[in-house]
Amino acid sequence: MPIIKITDLNLSNKRVLIRSDLNVPIQNKKIISYARINASLPTIKLALKNNAKVIVASHLGRPKEGFYDSELSLFPIFKYFQEIFKKYKVYFCKNYLNGIETKSGELTILENVRFNKGEKNNNKHLSKTYANLCDIFVMDAFGSLHRNESSTYGLSKYSKIACSGLLLESELTALKKIIKKPIRPMITIVGGAKVSTKFNLLKSLAKISDTLIVGGGIANTFIAIDNNVGKSLYEPNFIHQAKLLRDNYNIFIPIDSKVSTTFNENSIGITKKVSDIDMNEEIMDFGENTITKMLPILQQAKTILWNGPIGVFEFKNFRKGTTALAQTIANSNAFSVAGGGDTLSVIEILNITSKISYISTGGGSFLKFLEQEEFPIIKLLERFI
């Protein structure tokens, strides 16, 4: 079923509470990355332009509920919003559970919702308290879509009317395009440490992909089906599951690897066939032949889904595989979707943000959506149609 969009509603003079995802890294009360904040701005701007009484809520980090923590306050984000929305009055509200005064065309940023006791447990009373703050609830926090908490699920359930924001709508549209009707060939890249944490994701994506490229510790487990992987990170208990995937789907597994006997940023790697890895060696990146074999597959793709680096990208000597992958995606005419925290870091470091068709702001939600799991919040939003 479709969901009511914010653009379908008359917002003028209405109290509009937008649940954004402003969970960004902050150090010494300074914002380190603005990506998620900037992605949330179009919905807020739309509400202000339509003369709504705009209220923005978000969580930040993992504070102890019921206690204030200045290190996890949204105050630095409020200060940033003051700079962005200079022609509007912008307020910061720490005590809002007993109600707040709002005016049309003004913006109020609420303090971290996770300071409120009951937030993470989706407390019914807290959810109703949030709902009483607004006439319209806008769910725009795709990164929190998989969490059934008071400011997400509870607000969706108890608000008079709930709808999707611009960011949530764009996320759902892009990911549905990948899952439902990808233009083929579709190539998927999944990196990461463990098969166990991404097995359901791998199985779901293998079914809809023409080729599934595995990297990182995940690739090591596939390599270990037939080879010794030395002291590399892999999961022996998941070799059988990996073999089932390899034997039933088109899984691209490295044929050579860059290995090292030490694990640090100054390690020097050598390239070896995956059949020749010694017990004291550790896989750190794709080898030259694997990269050469991978690039034409990516170049022929019409749809590319990317989650995770394929080597130890944080070490400069083991960036070649991921860099080659990323730059090939950036230069491709394919519809490309990238998501996951480590993936976003790679994109920022290589300065290719503008060359990726769609970059998801979600971490857990991104992966859960690709596993084709149902989201209870989506079901709640659908009921307003």
Q: Over the chain (385 residues), what is each successive 10-residue block's mean pLDDT?
A: 91 98 91 91 98 98 95 97 97 97 97 98 98 98 94 97 97 91 96 80 94 96 97 94 96 98 94 97 97 98 95 94 98 95 88 95 86 86 81
Cα gap 349→303, rounded to integer Å? 23
- pLDDT score recorded for residue 266: 92
- Torsion angle, CA of 165/170/172/173, rounded to 10 degrees? 130
Beta strands in the chain (DSSP E): 15-19, 26-27, 30-31, 53-57, 90-93, 106-110, 136-139, 162-164, 186-190, 211-214, 251-252, 256-260, 270-273, 282-286, 303-307, 335-338, 358-359
Residues flagged as binding site for ATP: 198, 314, 340-343
List, as residue ranges, the binding site for (2R)-3-phosphoglycerate.
Answer: 36, 114, 147
3-state class of 327 per DSSP?
helix
**Rounded-to-integer distance, Cα 366 and Cα 168, Å:** 11
**Is the torsion defined by CA of 340, 341, 345, 351 positive or negative?**
positive
CA distance 152 to 162: 11
DSSP string, 26-63: EETTEES--HHHHHHHHHHHHHHHTT-EEEEE---S-P
Q: State which H helix or E strand residue 195 sits in.
A: helix 195-208
In the chain, CATH 3.40.50.1260 sits at 6-166, 182-371
> What pLDDT was estimated at residue 371?
84
6-166 CATH fold: Rossmann fold (3.40.50)
The whole-angstrom separation of Cα 230 and Cα 240 is: 19
What residues form the annotated binding site? Answer: 21-23, 36, 59-62, 114, 147, 198, 314, 340-343
Strands 282-286 and 256-260: antiparallel
Give the C-alpha separation, 108 to 351, whole Å.
33
Identity of the residue numbered 49 = K
Per the annotation, binding residues for substrate are 21-23, 36, 59-62, 114, 147
d(CA 304, CA 67): 44
pLDDT score at 1: 60
**What pLDDT is attached to residue 199?**
83
Give the pLDDT of residue 385: 66
> With contact defined as beta carbons under 8 Å apart, do 337 and 306 qualify?
yes
**336's tokens:** 């490309």
- Supply the DSSP symbol for 231: T
CATH class of 182-371: alpha beta
